[in-house]
Amino acid sequence: MVIIAYNDAQILDVACPSGALEIANGHGAVPPYAIELATVTGRGVRSSSGIALTGARRLASVTGQIDTMLVVGGHGTRAAMADDGLLTQVRRLARRSRRIASVCTGAFVLAAAGLLDGRRATTHWAYGDLLAAHFPAVTVDLAPLFVQDGNVYTSAGVTSALDLTLALVEADHGPTVAREVARELVTYLQRPADQAQISMFLAPPPPGDRLVRDLLAHIAAHPGDDLSPAALAARAQVSPRHLTRLFVTHAGTTPARAVRAARTEAAAHLVRGSELSLAAVARRCGFGSAEVLRQAFLDHYGVTGDRVRRMADMPEALDRPTTQTVEHGGSAGDRH
């Protein structure tokens, strides 16, 4: 893993992926990740918080195949976009990388290097319009926490780097290692890429059955879709009765209850994080009306929608629902 930084980079954009990958190594990531910080000069850089990031490698000295190249964001992004030497090295290393990724406004650097042309990408919500205006060849989607388009991954603001990194760890080493990383970080389990705000709690382990796991991810990512038992069964190519048996066995709940829980959580985060009316939130999250949504909030959290909105400054309060919820140099064998 080569993490590319520059002056005035956001320190969390470096720390989140590198810290998560270090922990993955401690939980059985084989081959382990070899994490290197690289800069144009090979000298350390100053983060936007004033803390120096040292131990960097010169970008031009990075040779051979790279597993993942990740470009960070931060206040120094504008200068980085104009640094021809940096962009030349980003393009060169991209050709050697199995995966290319960015955190937050690092997407601007990838775009300036031409690596996002014709691709779907995301960035911090506050800079999406700017990314779209500067790079019309990029399809900017601000809804997800992170976007994968081919082998290119872009993530939203700062701590979404954890969601992206957990997804990479799961792809490389499976869900058990990813879950152990999340537990050690005392953070949420990886949230689905296409869902911006759903909380995935650490308490229950991910379902062992791949069909159920994939359907739960689909439910979380598309709360407004037709998620009836019949539609889910058709998607899974099983009968509705067999689908219910699978959910009860592997998720401890029925498909209908899993859908209601995921929709309620999605609605709660939309209410907390937007100015949408309850009726608009209800439509977006698959509820028939604002009244149905209000009842779901009462059943799930024991509070009304208006109370959920007033709890925006107390996010931990929504992590205690009243009903059960479903829910980033080494040896030759290391991953670079």
pLDDT at residue 331, as a whole number: 33
Torsion of CA 69, 72, 76, 82, to 10 degrees: 30
Q: How far is CA 318 from the centre of its chain?
A: 20
- Asked if 34 and 301 count as a contact pair (C-beta separation under 8 A), the reply is no
pLDDT over threshold 60, residue 234:
yes
pLDDT at residue 231, as a whole number: 95
- Interval 246-268 mean pLDDT: 90
Q: DSSP for 128-144?
A: HHHHHHH-TTSEE--SS
Q: Please name each of the domains of the chain with its CATH number.
A: 1-195 (3.40.50.880), 203-308 (1.10.10.60)
Cα distance between residue 52 and residue 181, in whole Å = 26
The Cβ of residue 289 has, within 10 Å, a number of other Cβ atoms equal to 12
> Residue 330: pLDDT band by 50, 70, 90 thresholds?
very low
pLDDT at residue 304, as a whole number: 64
- Interval 304-331 mean pLDDT: 42
Who's near 36: CB < 8 A, 6+ residues apart?
1, 2, 3, 57, 62, 329, 336
pLDDT at residue 266, as a whole number: 85
- Asked if 70 and 102 count as a contact pair (C-beta separation under 8 A), the reply is yes
Nearest Cα to Cα of residue 117 among 98, 99, 140, 95: 140
pLDDT over threshold 80, residue 11:
yes
pLDDT at residue 307, as a whole number: 60
**Considering the chain, what is the average pLDDT of its residues?**
84
pLDDT at residue 68, as a whole number: 98
Where is average pLDDT lowest: 129-138, 164-173, 218-227? 218-227
Percent of the chain whose predicted confidence (pLDDT) is above 90: 59
Nearest Cα to Cα of residue 296 among 259, 327, 326: 259
pLDDT over threshold 70, residue 193:
no
pLDDT at residue 144, as a whole number: 77
**pLDDT tens profile 39-75:** 999 999 999 999 999 989 999 999 999 999 999 999 9
Partners of 139 in the beta sheet? Answer: 120
pLDDT over threshold 90, residue 197:
no
pLDDT over threshold 80, residue 198:
no
pTM above 0.75, yes or no: no
- Asked if 303 and 297 count as a contact pair (C-beta separation under 8 A), the reply is yes
pLDDT over threshold 70, residue 287:
yes
pLDDT over threshold 70, residue 194:
no
How many residues belong to the chain?
Answer: 336
